[in-house]
Amino acid sequence: MADRTATVRTRRGPLTYVFRLIVAGYLVMLVAWPVALVAKNTFADGLTDLRTILTDPDTVHALKLSVTIAVTAVVINTVFGVGISLLLVRYRFPGKRLLSALLDLPISVSPIVVGLALVLVYGGRTGWFGPALESAGLQVIFAVPGMVLATVFVALPLVIREVVPVLEEVGEEQEQAAHSLGAGAFQTFRRITLPAIKWGVVYGVVLSLARSLGEFGAVKVVSGNVLGQTRTATLVVEEKYLNFDKGGAYATAFLLAMVAVACIVVVSVIRPREPR
């Protein structure tokens, strides 16, 4: 909002300051102070807690597993998200509105329900497809594929939400020009469309990454939470806290929080000010 500075209210009543104070106080009490305390608790014993979790093979395994699952989920969601955004914006087909509404559904479904839904379909014993997949040698639930599915599910709309508005704003004149000059569909996408929507895709990816790394409930249901195998970083936080290893819980939470905050800061810094 570059023009906002130009239209700043010139007369400032006492109410302006009251509002400012209320908002700042509310955000400090609800977000800033609690988050800062986690950092403080992490470093209460200097670097010992961080060093302990980073040398514990099970925690390191959990951190690596979280990163692997998150990256896989982000790649899947980026390909699917960009593809479906192109289809939604550039083409017309029956059921488009329904699809576009359904794509928002994962945001409002409880992670536990997501986990349950996947278990009911892909569960090894009683799932709809699970037994068949298992006899074909693919275990989904209580294994990494199920955890990837759960993570992809919860982060599904994020790339689409970022890319669709950019695609609409860019318009398709350039694509049509490229097409009329003889460029193929793939060439047009790579040379014209992709550079134009680049930043939308980047924001979507960063947000999906934050969301995917942090997924807890859905992964908890489908993972079985086996130490050293299917336990992710967020599950480690719970397990350590409940086992009275508060230092370890705070240290792991701190690492996760750092990634989340970094993602938010990256998005807010690289998002260009709106041109209007």
Partner 1 sequence: MTSAVLAPDRPALARRSDRGGGRPLTRGAALGLGMAMLWFSLLVLIPLAAVVVTAADGGWSHFWDSVTSPQTAAAIRLTVGTAILVTLVNIVMGTLIAWVLVRDRFFGQRALEVLIDIPFALPTIVAGLVLLSLYGPASPIGVDIANTRIAVFLAFLFVTLPFVVRTVQPVLAELDREAEEAAASLGASRFTIFRRIILPSLTPAIAAGAALSFARGVSEYGSLVLLSGNLPMRTEVTSVRILGSIENDNLEGAAAVAVVLLVISFAVIVILDVIQRRMVRRG
Q: Which of residues 207-236 bind partner 1 (CB under 8 A)?
A: 207, 210-211, 213-217, 220-221, 234
Residue 116 tokens read as: 């349950």
Q: Which stretch binds partner 1 (CB under 8 A): 22-30, 48-56, 131-139, 191-199?
A: 22-30
Cα 256–Cα 258–Cα 261 angle in degrees, nearest 5: 110
State which of residues 10, 55, 97, 135 lies at the interface with partner 1 (CB under 8 A): 97
Q: Which of 141, 155, 156, 205: binder of partner 1 (CB under 8 A)?
A: 156
Among 54, 92, 224, 247, binds partner 1 (CB under 8 A): 92
The first and second tokens of residue 235, run together, are 């599950």
As measured in angstroms, the least distance from the Cβ of 13 to partner 1 is 7
118 binds partner 1 (CB under 8 A): yes
Close Cβ partners of 168 (under 8 Å, ≥ 6 residues apart): 89
> Which residues, 182 to 201, sit near partner 1 by CB under 8 A?
185
Q: Is 12 helix (H, G, I), strand (E, B) or coil?
A: coil
What is the per-residue binding string for partner 1 in 46-65, x denoting contact by CB under 8 A? Answer: --------------------
Tokens of 106: 């994962």
Q: Which long-range contacts (CB under 8 A, 24 or more apart) does 192-199 make?
A: 193/86, 193/167, 196/166, 196/170, 197/82, 197/163, 197/166, 197/167, 197/170, 199/166, 199/270, 199/271, 199/272
Residue numbers 68-87 binding partner 1 by CB under 8 A: 80, 83-84, 86-87
Which of 109, 57, 61, 133 lies closest to 221 in space, CA to CA? 109
Q: Which stretch binds partner 1 (CB under 8 A): 45-53, 56-64, 163-171, 191-199?
A: 163-171
Task: Kindly state whether residue 26 participates in binding partner 1, applying the rule CB under 8 A.
Answer: yes
Q: Does 90 engage in binding with partner 1 (CB under 8 A)?
A: yes
Provide the CA 209 distance to its chain's centre, in angstroms: 4
Do 219 and 146 contact (CB within 8 A), yes or no? no
106 binds partner 1 (CB under 8 A): yes
Which residue stretch of 47-55, 56-64, 190-198, 266-274 sits at the interface with partner 1 (rule: CB under 8 A)? 266-274
